[in-house]
Amino acid sequence: MKAPLSWIREYVDLPADVTLSALTDRLTMLGLKLEAVTNPADAVTGPLVVGRVLTLEKEPQKNGKTINWCTVDVGDANGTGEPQGIVCGAHNFVEGDLVVVCLPGAVLPGDFEISARKTYGHLSAGMICSAAELGLGTDHDGIIVLPADAGAPGDDAFDVLGMDDPVIEFEINPDRAYALSLRGIAREAALGFDLPFTDPAARDTPAANADGHPVVVDDAAGCPVFVARSVSGFDPTATTPGWMATRLEQAGMRPVSLAVDVTNYVMLELGRPIHGYDREKLSGAVRVRRAAAGEKLTTLDGVVRTLSAEDLVVTDDSGIIGLGGVMGGETTEISETTTSILVEAAHWDAVSMFRTGKRHRLTSEAGKRNERGVDPEITEAAADRVVELLVELGGATADAGVTVVGTPPARVSITIPVDLPARISGIDISAETTLAHLRAVGCEVAIDGDTLTAVAPSWRPDLTDPYDLVEEVVRIVGYDQVPSVLPPAPAGRGRSEAQRLRRRVGTTLAGAGLVETISYPFVGDADWDRLGLAEGDERRTALRVVNPLNNEEPFLATTLLPGLLKALARNVGRGTTDVALFETSLVFEPTGAKAPLLGVDRRPSDEEWASIEKAVPRQPMHLAIALTGHAEDAGWWGAGRLASWSDAIGTVRALADELGVELTVTATTREPWHPGRCAELRIGERVIGHAGELHPKVCKAYAVPARTAVAEIDLDALLEHATTVVTGPEFSSFPVAKEDVALVVDADVPAAAVEAALREGAGELLESIALFDVFTGEQVGEGKKSLAYALRFRAPDRTLKEGEASAAREAAVAMAAERTGAVQR
């Protein structure tokens, strides 16, 4: 909302010591937040003076233009008293006109410095200004011609033009609809400085009578009050006076025609939207009703709208003539020939206005006010003000008929403990202060012992609840008066187990050299295809966004790999070729259930709550990693090592070790992994994820380097099994006995199976086992591989006897032979 300071001053007499910044500071602290102040005078540096055109010679130029060589009387403003010679290209003035002249040395908006300069064969010493050149609107039609009585040559034109009129732009919160008017803003200014307020809506209005235009309201809930007034003999050629056009422009509205401008002006003044009809285009009574579904109306913006049964419409005998409170129709629109005007000032149900505006995607200055709540008690005053201006400015005659249908809704009365504002704010606020401030905002307050009852003023439909009154009192006392006190929280338990474990996961992975990323969750069919997911793959069943930002990516991720691979490709594309990424994020599993919309007047019942919980999709937290390039860098020390499928598996394994979870790794096939290089990761029988090398096709599809390795696991599942309380280890200080063994097995026997057999066969003395070599080749035989293990044996309570370790080794080998066909080399 933009409010010219001069307009505010009409209703509140601000003393000189209230500076502009004092005013905006106070209003901001009252809840009308300052957005910006613009003042045309700030953008212009003088000398800017009134001048009288003494001579004007038209001089055609070779380029086809005609310029005016003028001499202009600028009084003593130029220091000489001699006429000033100025070249001017505009043609909307004649000798004798009063114009606005900026003399050399002046600076116009855009740092445009005026100096005497040679042009078109003359020395032009200054400029005759247009409104646009002074930053006063967009009218480029010519220079400003002042009224004959505007002043004398040499007068300061800042004053004459009223240029020093700051326009304050406020951000108005939805609950303060009353401040979408000069009436509301000035009232707050008066409140803020404890000054008297002149209410522009306080005016005597003629009583309703039977002579007015007939109005029938079928839906009193939707339109509690409908006031109709009319004027005749309106001069359609009458133009909007400059002061009104200026104020409309200052407030951000475009002047259109006098009749329309008057309704807009009154809306800005009082906050009450007004609609004007060409009365001669009306046939029969004006009627307000709900539309029948499917009815059509062409609104003023030329759009044909199909109406819903909830829309409030205004009709006459010809049918629908307007969307009540939101926008009028074309058929009864005021035109350049209109002489008889019906003025509608109606109070509309705010919720209905909001729904209609949303349904038809209609936003208008009128709609904005009607849907947030307008003072229902000023319909007659607003209509009367419009009539007054049409009479005064448009030469019209006010018709005697006055139609008033309905009565304004009753004012809301709220009862609170007198000390509630003090209790809720923590400020020491006396009962007297509370009463005074509530009265200052316009409440009628009655006190009864420890409670008070406040009747909210008609312009404050937002005041409905006890805490609304608290806010009114506290904002006037001042939010800066709130003391700073720490609340007495009970002793806490710190982070939850899951939160601590997730932090541990992040630290572990970062310690292993991986960098965390955050990706958008939006994916599309193309991602499923790039990953090579089969038609029936469960990951293709995803939640779909109704209104995605990108129609190609309407789904919510069921796997973190698309986001991670895109990030990987971005890094590689930007020249970082050795990349190790991880992301922990929720993925979304559709439930198909619909969430109930419950009431808010009580806690949901257990069943209702269960139905919400059931409808909210399962969203497990996943962990994904992606690796490409060097795991260990090449350098002066040697060649380095490229990340591979084993790093992807190894990273998850190391994480499981860190969390004390035993992970089982077996070979499997699953998209998007390389079919021969994909590990299934299990805890017991539960599959928690997969790791390995990315399928070459997937690498190409996501433009990531070949051999990129990835893993994705259900992190929640891993954390569920984490060892949270570690039992302190007991370890032997007796000597260790080391035994190596090399076994030959069929090439397709998993190393994990051999190791498991060795462990079982070795028995309790086995302390650790490590595979230190895998070898294939002629010596081992076709289709075979050799696995070399280092075994360490130790007893907890004694030194092993000669032969004990080798016996255990033999037992281990025997078990491996039995289980896996292993043969000792």
Partner 1 sequence: MSGPNTDYDPVEVTPLKAEEVERMRDEAVAAIAAAADLEQLKQVRLDHAGDRSPLALANREIGALPPQARKEAGARVGQARGAVTKALGERTSVLEDEHEQRMLVEERVDVTLPTKRRRAGARHPITTFSERLSDVFLAMGWEVAEGPWVEAEWLNFDALNMGPDHPARTMQDTFWLEPADAALVLRTHTSPVQARTMLSQQPPIYVVCPGRVYRTDEVDATHSPVFHQIEGLVVDEGITMAHLKGTLDHMTTALFGEGITTRFRPSYFPFTEPSAEMDMVCFVCRGVDSDACRTCRGEGWIELGGCGVVNPRVLTACGIDPEVYSGIAFGFGIDRMLMFRHNVTDLRDVFEGDVRFASAFGTEI
**According to CB under 8 A, which residues from 577 to 636 bind partner 1?**
578-581, 586, 588, 593-604, 609, 612, 615-617, 619, 631-633, 635-636
* 111 annotated ligand binder: no
- Least spacing, CB of residue 724 vs partner 1, in Å: 17
> Would you count residue 304 as binding partner 1 (CB under 8 A)?
no
> Would you count residue 362 as binding partner 1 (CB under 8 A)?
no
Task: For residue 651, count other CB atoms closer than 10 A to its CB.
Answer: 25
Q: Which two tokens stand for residue 677?
A: 């290089």
- Least spacing, CB of residue 389 vs partner 1, in Å: 31
Q: Which two tokens stand for residue 396?
A: 């019209």
Identify the three-state secondary structure at position 585: strand
Q: Which two tokens stand for residue 50?
A: 């009134």
Which residues ranging from 423 to 462 are in contact with partner 1 (CB under 8 A)? 423-427
- Least spacing, CB of residue 432 vs partner 1, in Å: 20
DSSP 319-348: EEEEETTTEEBSTT---TT---EEEEEEE-
Which residues ranging from 168 to 187 are in contact with partner 1 (CB under 8 A)? 173-176
Give whichever of 307 and 564 is closer to partner 1, judged by the CB atom.
Answer: 564
Judging by beta carbons within 10 Å of its beta carbon (0-12, 13-18, 19+), is residue 774 exposed, middle or buried?
A: exposed
Question: For partner 1, what does the binding mask look like between residues 130 and 169, x meaning CB under 8 A?
Answer: ----------------------------------------
- Least spacing, CB of residue 623 vs partner 1, in Å: 13
- Least spacing, CB of residue 576 vs partner 1, in Å: 6
Task: For residue 818, count other CB atoms closer than 10 A to its CB.
Answer: 12
Contact 440, 480 (CB under 8 A): no
- Least spacing, CB of residue 169 vs partner 1, in Å: 16
Question: For partner 1, what does the binding mask look like between residues 10 and 39, x meaning CB under 8 A?
Answer: ------------------xxxx-x------
Which residues ranging from 204 to 233 are in contact with partner 1 (CB under 8 A)? none
Q: How far apart (Å, rounded) are the C-alpha atoms in residues 760 and 678?
A: 26
Contacting residue, 467, 753, 776, 804, with partner 1 by CB under 8 A: 467
Omega of the bond leading into 488 within 30 degrees of 0 (cis): no
* 133 annotated ligand binder: no
In the chain, the N- to C-terminal Cα span, in Å, equals: 90
Give whichever of 499 and 732 is closer to partner 1, judged by the CB atom.
Answer: 499
- Least spacing, CB of residue 802 vs partner 1, in Å: 37
Judging by beta carbons within 10 Å of its beta carbon (0-12, 13-18, 19+), is residue 66 exposed, middle or buried?
A: exposed
Contact 106, 62 (CB under 8 A): no
Give whichever of 499 and 824 is closer to partner 1, judged by the CB atom.
Answer: 499
> Would you count residue 503 as binding partner 1 (CB under 8 A)?
yes
Which residues ranging from 518 to 577 are in contact with partner 1 (CB under 8 A)? 518-522, 543-549, 556, 563-564, 566-568, 570-571, 574, 576
Contact 584, 735 (CB under 8 A): no
* 685 annotated ligand binder: no
CA atoms within 13 A on the CB side of 619: 13
Q: Which two tokens stand for residue 244?
A: 């009104």
* 365 annotated ligand binder: no
Contacting residue, 137, 233, 401, 506, with partner 1 by CB under 8 A: 506
Q: How far apart (Å, rounded) are the C-alpha atoms in residues 501 and 514?
A: 17
Contacting residue, 236, 466, 524, 821, with partner 1 by CB under 8 A: 466
Omega of the bond leading into 672 within 30 degrees of 0 (cis): yes
Contacting residue, 242, 319, 640, 796, with partner 1 by CB under 8 A: 640
* H or E segment to which residue 665 belongs: strand 664-667
Give whichever of 76 and 450 is closer to partner 1, judged by the CB atom.
Answer: 450
- Least spacing, CB of residue 590 vs partner 1, in Å: 9
Dihedrals phi, psi of 553, to nearest 5 degrees: -130, 70
| Distant-in-sequence, close-in-space partners of 536: CB < 8 Å, separation ≥ 6 | none
Q: How far apart (Å, rounded) are the C-alpha atoms in residues 30 and 474?
A: 9
Contacting residue, 507, 724, 732, 799, with partner 1 by CB under 8 A: 507
Can you name the residues that pair with 417 across neighbouring β-strands?
A: 451
- Least spacing, CB of residue 772 vs partner 1, in Å: 22
- Residues making up the annotated binding site for Mg(2+) are 462, 468, 471-472
